[in-house]
Structure 1
Amino acid sequence: MNFLLDNWIWLLTAIASGAALMLPNLGKGGGADAVNPNGAVQLINREKAVVIDVCEPAEFAAGHIGGARSIPLGQLEGAKGLPTNKTLPLVLVCASGMRARKAAAVARKLGHERVHVLEGGLAAWREAGLPVEKTA
């Protein structure tokens, strides 16, 4: 007991360090799996994943993944563009990944079983050298 009292500052530092290491994992949206661009391509090609872009319409028009469906985050609940087959994998995309994490929680709430968030968003997709489409 004296050891703990004599070394309380080190104990507090260890607890704070452990909490800081776990914090990023606690923020992952709705239990969704993060997937890198290559993993997303595999899901799209092998498992017919549906790509949902949750950006605003102007952002979507400026650039999006080919074949992606545009459903802004605010319209996700009750959107008709979501697949009715809730076992199909969904890959949720936004500019950086933040809105996609929030959308993942909504998709899970709506009953979708396989929800993935594109890690780093469209920026990571572009950085990987993958194609981006623009809408006129």
Structure 2
Amino acid sequence: MQIRDLAIASGVTAQTIRFYERRSLLDHAERGGNGYRRYNEAALSRLRFIRSAQTAGLTLAEIGGIITVREAGEVPCEHVSNLLLKRLADVHRRQQELVLLETELQHIIDASQHLDPGDCEAGGVCHVITHAHQ
């Protein structure tokens, strides 16, 4: 199939396909007699894997590592499980950070309800933010 067919089948753009080739996430396509790239079903399968891995929160570097393990003839399941456990820990950490941010924002909003815009200092930017941290 040509690059546009692969793009449609995989749901990524031709530009993304070329990018993945440059990053060695996808094997470089064979060229037909007309110079067009020709892709096989393995390319489509690889693109589906990449998209699924990204949906799980893995980076392109991590995805490349998984592909390297597989291409070395090893089964990457344990490697993938470790990456996913790390990603889950990152998600939990970010959730905790968001809870703290939510608390801080609510504190600032609550404090701002009692401020008079006329009390804003001429040299300051906005006392809603600065007053909440005093």
Q: TM-score range by the shorter chain?
A: under 0.3
Please identify which structure carries the higher strand content: 1
Normalised TM-score (structure 2):
0.25
Please identify which structure carries the higher helix content: 2
Structure with greater Cα Rg: 2
The answer to which structure, 1 or 2, has the higher relative contact order (CA under 8 A, 6+ apart) is 1
Normalised TM-score (structure 1):
0.25
